[in-house]
Each structure stands twice: as C-alpha cells, then as structure tokens.
Amino acid sequence: MSEIVQKVLAGDRLSLTRLLSKIEDGAPEGQQALAELFPHGGRAFLIGVTGAPGTGKSSLVNQIAYHYRHPADGGELKRVAIVAVDPSSPFSGGAVLGDRIRMNALTGDAGVFIRSMASRGSLGGLASTTAGIVQAFDAAGFEIILIETVGAGQAEVDIARLAHTTVVVEAPGLGDDVQAIKAGILEIADILVVNKADRPGIEQTERALKNMLQLAHPVRRDFTSPYLPASGEALNEALWMTPIQRTVATEGSGVLELVGLIAKHREHLSSTGDLARRERARLAAELDMLIQLGLVENWQKRLGNGQYEETLVEVVSRRISPGEAARKLIGMESK
C-alpha cells in the first residue's frame, strides 16, 4: 500500500487534501490511490443537494452538517465531508468557488472537511472527478458526505446517480413559480425542500410543488446499465412518496425535520433493498463511463498519424457518411 493511502486511512488531513488534488487533476498517483482505497469504502451515506442558483443550497448544507455534528435529536455524532461544486468559466477555465462563505458554522471542527470543486468543463452539475473525491472521503472514514451541485436547475441526473438521498431545494420568488420548477428536477427529488420560508410567496410555491408532485406518478428509479440484461425482478415494494419540507436555512428552522426525512428515506432504501440496487447501478454507471473513456483512449493511441484528418476530409466532402467513417476508423485499429 502506498504511503499516502496509509496516511489517509490513519486520518492524516494533509495527506487527504493532497490526495484529493491528485484525484481531481487526474494524476496517476490519484488513480492508483483510488484503487487501493476502494476496498475501504462503501460505508458512507451520500446526500446530494441540488437546485437552482441562489435557492440556499450551501446554507442548507451548513445546517445539515451542523446537525450531524451537534445532534439535537439524540442521534449519534458523525464525521461529515462536504463536496461543493461550482461552475468553471468556459472561457478561462478558472472559477470562483463561493460555497464556503455560507459554511462558517462548521469552522474549527476537526470532524468536518469541506472541499470546493470547479466543474472543469463537465455539464451534469458535478465534476467528472466528484465521484472519486467522494470515494476518498468515504474510505477516509467520513460517515456522512454532503454533495452540493453546481445548481444549473436542470435535471441533474448525475447527482441522483451518485447520492443515496437527493434533496432538491426550491425557493419562492424565482420568477414564475411553476415555470421555475422543471419537471425533470422533481423526478430526481427524494425530498423536496422549500427554503426561504420566511419570504413572501412561500404558500404559492409550496402549492405549485404539491400539485406537480401529485401529477407526477411516483416511479421506481432503476438506473440500469445498457450492458446488463433486464433484471426481470418483481419490484413491488412500497414506493417512496417524495415529501415536501419548509426550511429557513439562514436560521435553521425546519432542519431537524429535514434531517428526520433523510433518515426515513435511508431506512426506506435499506428496507426495500433499493440501497443495494442503487449501489449496484451507481457502480455500473461508473464502470460504463470508465470503459468508454478507456476504449477511446486505447483507440486514440493506436490511431495512425493523419488517419483521422484524412477520413474527416472524406466526410466533409460527402464521399462517405459519418457512420461509415466511424466504422472505418474503428476498424483500422483491429488490422
């Protein structure tokens, strides 16, 4: 086992932070360490927090984490890691990561580790290495991992795949209430939060959300891999009905109830077997992604000099179709 992995497992924060950077940068040491850490993971509970910009995701993450550090309901103390993703500028590749500003209640607590990430060109609300960062925190012994997405307000399927419980945050006053709530984002919500309950318009927003939830039939979210045969399993356990919770994240009201709902959802996942199913689907998705990346990388390595350009010229002049060109280029490597 490499020295850095030993130190991370022993709880050394400097080694952990350096390892997170190596993972984020896609460095070989990072990949190697992830492989070594993998058998030590699988114990953390992953909570995703998503929603449109400015709805209060970071403030809410601050409150949820604070609760696990100071359990007011007699629950046990848990170590908490936070991964907060903000967008990279598509022009400069730089980013201003501002989620920590709202997490001051957590400073000075050695049981909390907050890491900001830039999306680095990834579009699904997470960075491509967020899953790796989460795995490292998991193996390092953090029992709760909170993941805040970019907050594009789109259907951020990536977070629903990664997290065990996905919390979608809405707030009043985001323009036309119903318009602001995209159907796709309701589908990924295990729990819906209406934050900024101290603001006018809260009733209206909540009513609109309730109506939309009633229209949307609860569906079982089975994220299957295209490479697996259909399971054919009879999925007839109780379906989870997405609850709505009001909060004021700046003050903390509604947070105890929210944390209660998260616990209830976790219980639902384990009692129905959904937890194992989601875990399997998540790992399958990661495997698929890595297979695709690896195949492309291999193919690129074996591609002869100028072959791609030559074929592209044929496509541009409409001598061959993109489909034929792809078959030709992929075929080249096997010769």
Ligand X SMILES: Nc1nc2c(ncn2[C@@H]2O[C@H](COP(=O)(O)OP(=O)(O)OP(=O)(O)O)[C@@H](O)[C@H]2O)c(=O)[nH]1
- CB nearer to ligand X: pick between 139 and 248: 248
| Packing angle of the helix pair 13-24, 130-139 (nearest 10 deg) | 160
Q: Which stretch binds ligand X (CB under 6 A): 32-40, 47-55, 160-168, 225-233?
A: 47-55
d(CA 210, CA 216): 10
Footprint on residues 160-189 left by ligand X (CB under 6 A): none
Residue from 3, 90, 107, 305 touching another protein (CB under 8 A): that is 107
Name, in order, each residue with C-beta under 8 angstroms of 194's C-beta and a sequence gap of 6 or more: 170, 171, 172, 202, 205, 206, 209, 244, 245, 246, 247
Q: Which does 59 bind (CB under 5 to 8 A by kind): another protein, Mg ion, ligand X, none?
A: ligand X
Six token digits for residue 194: 């209406």
State yes or no: residue 13 binds ligand X (CB under 6 A): no
Cβ(113)–Cβ(142) under 8 Å? yes
**Element holding 204 (H helix, E strand):** helix 202-215
**What is the closest distance, in whole angstroms, from the C-beta atom of residue 138 to ligand X in the complex?**
23
Cβ(140)–Cβ(16) under 8 Å? yes
DSSP assigned state of 126: S
CB atoms within 10 A of CB 91: 6
Q: Which stretch binds another protein (CB under 8 A): 112-120, 137-145, 171-179, 321-329?
A: 112-120
3 state DSSP class of 295: helix
Residue from 122, 195, 242, 311 touching ligand X (CB under 6 A): that is 195
Q: Which does 21 bind (CB under 5 to 8 A by kind): ligand X, Mg ion, another protein, none?
A: another protein
Six token digits for residue 124: 């699904």
Footprint on residues 57-96 left by another protein (CB under 8 A): 88-89, 91-96
State yes or no: residue 252 binds ligand X (CB under 6 A): no
Residue from 99, 170, 190, 206 touching Mg ion (CB under 5 A): that is 99
Footprint on residues 119-158 left by another protein (CB under 8 A): 120
Q: Which does 199 bind (CB under 5 to 8 A by kind): ligand X, another protein, Mg ion, none?
A: ligand X
Binding mask 19-58 for Mg ion (x = CB under 5 A): --------------------------------------xx
Six token digits for residue 213: 């939830």
DSSP strand pairing (191-194 vs 165-170): parallel
Instruction: Give residue 61's identity as a one-letter amino acid code.
Output: V
Footprint on residues 254-313 left by ligand X (CB under 6 A): none
CB atoms within 10 A of CB 99: 21
Q: Which does 300 bind (CB under 5 to 8 A by kind): another protein, Mg ion, ligand X, none?
A: none
Task: Give the interface with ligand X as residue ranges (CB under 6 A).
Answer: 53-59, 99, 102, 151, 195-196, 198-199, 248-250
